[in-house]
Structure 1
Amino acid sequence: MRSATLPAAAAAIMMAGCAAPAANAADSADAPRTISVSGEGRAAAAPDMAVISIGVQSEAPTAAAALRQNSADMSATIKKLKDLGIAAKDIQTSGLSVSPRYNYEKNRSQPEVIGFTASNSVTVRLRDLSDAGSVIDQAVQSGANNLGGVSFSFSEPKPLYDEARRNAVADAKSKASLLTDAAGVRLGKLLYIQEGYAQTPQPKMYSARMEMADSAANVPMEAGESEVNVTVSLVYEIE
């Protein structure tokens, strides 16, 4: 009677399978213990630049007439902005539209077109905040009748972000030290570091429709203080 024997390939597979748990256990034992922490850093300063949206809205019986009037008023507004010393690179068209106006009276199967509205707006960067109120005033007097909003920012934001990054790393390191101390273990070397997000200052927006060009005073503007936020992730070895 012949004794049953396993093929060589099958025996090799069984031997490899038996050895795998021991190898995995060894790898697990060699893997360093780690702690992962995140930190958030903030930095604030007074902004030195404003971004405003200035627009012209015109109404007329026809689309062509509305656009023609709107173009004339916006051209005068842009010329005034340039005359005030604002560079062409700091003036950018941000919106242009022509749309019908309807009369929605009751018992009417189809609304009646009673005219057209043309709108045009430009985004303007003001690099001298002391001129912001005067620029808005002059723009309105030249034909603008719609202020879409204003936001404040920094012409050179890198130093502020660098400060926020340093604060974020310090925050993460402080958390790691506290946690390992509370757990009764020692904090080892830094293994990994990654920046998460860098949040830009949130714009402070307001809007207004200016009905008469001669009704605007020198607009008061307060830039206040803007803040940037940065997060980081650190991974340390636990000794």
Structure 2
Amino acid sequence: MKRVYKHLLLGITILLAISTLVIFYNARRPNLKSQTNFSPEARSLPTYNNITIIKVTGIGSVKTKPNMIYISLNIEVEANTPGEALSAATSRANELISFLKYKGVQDQNITTTNVALTPVYDYDQKPPKIVAYRAYYSLRVRLTDLKLAGEILGDATNHGATGLGQISFGISEEKSKELRLQAIKLAYENALKIAEAMAEAAGLRITGIKTMSVQSGYVPPVYVTKSEAASVPPVVPLMPGESQISVSVYVEFIAES
């Protein structure tokens, strides 16, 4: 009898323990549910302590008169043999370089850009037959004096050149750096005006900057169509026009109510 009583008491104890665990588990369930709330409000982005980030790209441009001119001078000769053609082109090139130095152009401003030798075919014959050889030589000259550039263009064909290549105007590296800094300031001012307008429309005010960076700048060259030697006057008038340096900046402004 004592044995039965012990088993009964043990069973009651186990039931009470299970009931206690169930009650405790049910009491904890609401808290667990509130911790895993996936409502739209809970999934929304943080407000960054009531701070709004306004992202803007500003553009600044500075116009200036080019202070550099680049001219291409070409030599093209034809002869019966490769050696004769190359020798004739070399002779003309030496004459042209001597002329440029006589006009005051420094060595560092004279650059050879092309040397080539190709056969000339007579395609009326079958198969085509080589009838001559053509040699090419090109120079690129960098100048800062427009008047001197006009004199060189007008007289180069009398000193070895057989034609003129493309002419372009540009800005020196030193001046370009100076103007780029001015363009960066203008680009930032443009970005700030845009951000302030956006903030005002939203009932906010600009209070700071989160990050900012300078994007690429561009200085487009000004090109002049090449001229044929026969149409070159004694002095070629040159009009450099106007160049423009453009820079963009990316800024993330901090706005608050």
Please indicate the TM-score interval, normalised by the length of the shorter structure: 0.7 to 0.9
In 1, the alpha carbon distance for the partners of 2:198 and 2:164 equals 51
- In structure 2, give the amino acid aligned to 1:138: D
1:224 aligned to 2:241? yes
Q: 2:135 aligns with which of 118, 124, 146?
A: 118
In 2, the alpha carbon distance for the partners of 1:120 and 1:50 equals 20
1:198 aligned to 2:217? yes
Shift, 1:64, TM fit? 1.3
- In structure 1, give the amino acid aligned to 2:217: A
Judged with a 3 Å threshold, the aligned counterparts in structure 2 of structure 1 residues 26 and 96 are, in CA distance, closer, same or farther, namely same
Structure 2 unmatched runs, 5+ = 1-13, 19-31
Deviations 1:134-183 (A, max 9, x none): 01122221010121111112232222222211111111111111112222
Alignment of 1:104-143 (within 5 A): 104-105=123-124, 108-143=125-160
For the 8 Å contact 2:219–2:243, the answer to whether it is kept is no
1:43 aligned to 2:62? yes
In 1, the alpha carbon distance for the partners of 2:222 and 2:82 equals 34
Deviations 1:75-95 (A, max 9, x none): 100100001000001001111
Shift, 1:208, TM fit? 2.6
In 2, the alpha carbon distance for the partners of 1:225 and 1:203 equals 8
For the 8 Å contact 2:78–2:85, the answer to whether it is kept is yes
In 1, the alpha carbon distance for the partners of 2:199 and 2:47 equals 20
In 2, the alpha carbon distance for the partners of 1:170 and 1:112 equals 67
Q: Which residue of 1 aligns with 2:192?
A: 173
**Which structure has the bigger radius of gyration?**
2
For the 8 Å contact 2:155–2:234, the answer to whether it is kept is no
Shift, 1:102, TM fit? 1.8
Structure 1 unmatched runs, 5+ = 4-14
- In structure 2, give the amino acid aligned to 1:222: M
- In structure 2, give the amino acid aligned to 1:147: L
For the 8 Å contact 1:140–1:216, the answer to whether it is kept is no
User: Helix, strand or coil for the counterpart of 2:89?
Assistant: helix
Give me the identity figure in percent.
27
Shift, 1:112, TM fit? 2.0
Q: Which residue of 2 aligns with 1:85?
A: 104
Judged with a 3 Å threshold, the aligned counterparts in structure 2 of structure 1 residues 125 and 99 are, in CA distance, closer, same or farther, namely same
User: Helix, strand or coil for the counterpart of 2:241?
Assistant: coil
Normalised by the length of structure 2, the TM-score is: 0.77
Normalised by the length of structure 1, the TM-score is: 0.82
For the 8 Å contact 1:80–1:138, the answer to whether it is kept is no
Shift, 1:26, TM fit? 11
In 2, the alpha carbon distance for the partners of 1:140 and 1:193 equals 53
Q: 1:145 aligns with which of 138, 153, 162?
A: 162
In 2, the alpha carbon distance for the partners of 1:27 and 1:132 equals 63
For the 8 Å contact 2:60–2:185, the answer to whether it is kept is yes
- In structure 2, give the amino acid aligned to 1:46: K
Judged with a 3 Å threshold, the aligned counterparts in structure 2 of structure 1 residues 73 and 211 are, in CA distance, closer, same or farther, namely farther
- In structure 2, give the amino acid aligned to 1:204: Y
In 2, the alpha carbon distance for the partners of 1:35 and 1:100 equals 64
For the 8 Å contact 2:212–2:252, the answer to whether it is kept is yes
Q: Which residue of 2 aligns with 1:12?
A: none
Q: 1:67 aligns with which of 82, 86, 89?
A: 86
User: Helix, strand or coil for the counterpart of 2:224?
Assistant: coil
Q: Which residue of 2 aligns with 1:10?
A: none
RMSD: 2.6
Task: Report which of the two has the higher share of helix.
Answer: 2
